[in-house]
């Protein structure tokens, strides 16, 4: 069977579940990862074929994708800010909105914060994508990262090695942390922020397969992590230091009010590429 013929079959099988465009994107993602072939390669060589073993492999992935298991978990990796990260059921799959948060920090560090060595702390690091991207793209920086999950930290450490950066990883439950061990120029966090009432909006591939520990908070205490981190940031940011958050799109005003309550200044709320309130920056 030619690869083109199998591609058409693959897309047809997944379209009722994922839609044709996403089904096609899955196919080319797998093709590039496993066969090192791009869309253009297939277009230029229509006679390329799959071996029976390859068809068996793709059929197995096809059945798992029908169960809506994330393709990144099936492949074992995801791309973020120009780098490749190992991902598994212990960590969230890095998202484009978080890339925007990283880009905001990188841009600030290359401009107003570029004159001195920096210490950055990432709270709730998961796969390590934020911490590692910052370590990779900011010069003269020392990066620390905290997570409550041993399994997540093990993945993050592998990702740091994979991407050739040094990050100090710390196992800690931030909600039960009374103080940090040093001061930082920047603290950044993408903590759990989805309320249980919002689960109806979450796709099955996220709800059933990504770690709930990193996603959900109680409806009546949705900003629990933001409040705790803001309190720690007031104690452990240097004077003039910055706190960056990725936030719940529905709680932008509430997050700003919380930051004002903790006496942060120069508070900025920024939308993501989809037009949703998604991140804040504030200064001690």
Instruction: Output the pLDDT for position 110.
Output: 85
**What percent of the chain shows pLDDT beyond 70?**
99
The mean pLDDT of the chain is 94
Instruction: Output the pLDDT for position 198.
Output: 87
Mean predicted confidence (pLDDT) in 151-178: 97
Q: Is 114's pLDDT higher than 70? A: no
Mean predicted confidence (pLDDT) in 70-82: 95
Q: Is 175's pLDDT higher than 80? A: yes
What is the spatial distance between Cα 109 and Cα 187, in angstroms, rounded to a whole number? 13
Mean predicted confidence (pLDDT) in 241-254: 96
More confident of the two residues 258 and 46 = 258
SS3 letters across the chain: CEHHHHHHHHHHHHHHHHCHHHHHHHHHHHHHHHHCCCHHHHHHCCCCECCHHHHHHHHHHHHHHHCCCCHHHHHCEEEECCEEEECCCCCCCCCHHHHHHHHHHHHHHHCCCCCCCEEEEEECCCCCHHHHHHHHHCCCEEEEEEECCHHHHHHHHHHHHHCCCCEEEEECCHHHCCCCCCCEEEEEECCCCEEHHHHHHCCHHHHCCCCHHHCEECHHHCCHHHHHHHHHHHHHEEEEEEEEEECCCCCHHHHHHHHHHCCCEEEEEEECCCCCEEEEEEEC
Q: Is 113's pLDDT higher than 80? A: no
Q: Are the C-beta atoms of residues 189 and 246 closer than 8 Å to each other? A: yes
Q: Phi and psi dihedrals of 190, rounded to 5?
A: -120, 75
- Tokens 């994330």 found at: 70
pLDDT-wise least confident of 72-81, 140-149, 172-181, 203-212: 203-212
pLDDT band at 194 (very low <50, low <70, confident <90, very high): confident
Mean predicted confidence (pLDDT) in 94-122: 90
Instruction: Output the pLDDT for position 244.
Output: 98
């Amino acid at each position: 069977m030619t690869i083109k013929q199998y591609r058409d079959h693959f897309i047809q099988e997944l379209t009722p579940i994922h839609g044709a465009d996403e089904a096609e994107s899955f196919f080319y993602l797998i093709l590039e990862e496993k066969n090192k072939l791009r869309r253009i390669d297939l277009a230029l060589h229509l006679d390329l074929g799959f071996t029976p073993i390859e068809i068996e492999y793709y059929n197995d992935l096809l059945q798992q994708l029908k169960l809506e298991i994330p393709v990144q978990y099936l492949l074992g990796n995801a791309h973020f800010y120009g780098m490749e990260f190992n991902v598994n059921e212990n960590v969230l799959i890095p998202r484009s909105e978080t890339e925007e948060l990283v880009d905001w920090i990188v841009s600030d560090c290359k401009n107003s914060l570029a004159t001195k060595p920096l210490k950055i702390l990432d709270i709730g690091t998961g796969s390590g994508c934020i911490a590692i991207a910052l370590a990779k793209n900011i010069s003269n920086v020392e990066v620390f990262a905290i997570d409550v999950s041993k399994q997540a930290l093990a993945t993050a450490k592998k990702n740091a090695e994979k991407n050739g950066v040094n990050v100090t990883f710390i196992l800690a439950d931030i909600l039960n942390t009374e103080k940090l061990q040093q001061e930082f120029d920047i603290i950044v966090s993408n903590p759990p922020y989805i309320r249980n009432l919002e689960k109806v909006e979450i796709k099955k591939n996220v709800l059933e397969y990504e770690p709930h520990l990193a996603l959900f908070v109680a409806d009546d205490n949705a900003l629990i992590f933001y409040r705790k981190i803001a309190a720690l940031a007031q104690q452990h940011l240097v004077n003039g230091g910055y706190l960056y958050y990725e936030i719940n799109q529905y709680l932008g005003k509430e997050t700003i009010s919380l930051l004002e309550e903790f006496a942060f200044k120069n508070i900025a709320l920024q939308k993501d590429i989809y037009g949703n309130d998604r991140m804040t920056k504030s200064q001690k």
